[in-house]
Amino acid sequence: MQTTLALREKAAQLLAADAATLAPPADANVIALIKAIFTPLESTTLADLTLADFDGATPLAVGVGTQPEGLDPNSSDSIINLKPPAGGFRWETTGVTNLPMTIYGFALLNDALDTLLACEVLAAPITLNAVNEVVNIPVPTIRQLANTMV
């Protein structure tokens, strides 16, 4: 059975406001950088990922509460944008510990860093070699493709 757009939009709205997953009222979810090659699949687990550990790689908090959601005007996909922290999702090397290091992607984790919620591979890996180098990612988006809820 093909669902309606209204049903898909409601599913996105409920997920964007779900306190147990994407919208905790406190103890914010975080975005962490990944330093080893991985494949983002529904079956990917935290054990499949290696978190970056350079000086300055501390995971960054996503804003708490309901995340903004809507429809992508180009594809009609349902999207949930994760609220960025002040300054955006930006990491900077502050020392030389564990450099050089290549960053392959990022992951959405709970505050305790023990539950993987989502992950994404960067379009191109970023290799960090020295102090004051930056990894800056756009606002992470969770996407439900149009016409895929059946």
* Residue in the block written with tokens 């969770």: 142
**Domain span at residue 56?**
5-144
Contact status, residue 77 vs residue 145, Cβ threshold 8 Å: yes
Write down the pTM of the prediction: 0.94
Q: Does a structural domain hold residue 149?
A: no
Is residue 94 in some structural domain?
yes
Residue 41 lies in a domain: yes
CB 78 within 8 A of CB 48: no
User: Per the domain annotation, does 35 fall within a domain?
Assistant: yes
CB contact burial 57-96 (16+ within 10 A = b; e otherwise): bebbbbebebbebebeeeeebbbbebbbeeeebebebeee
pLDDT attached to residue 2: 80
In a domain, 33, yes or no: yes
The pLDDT tens digits of the residues spanning 36-74 come to 999 999 999 999 999 999 999 999 999 999 999 999 999
Give me the number of domains the chain comprises. 1
Token pair recorded at residue 60: 């960054």
Tell me, yes or no, whether 150 lies in a domain.
no
> Which tokens belong to 111?
């505050």
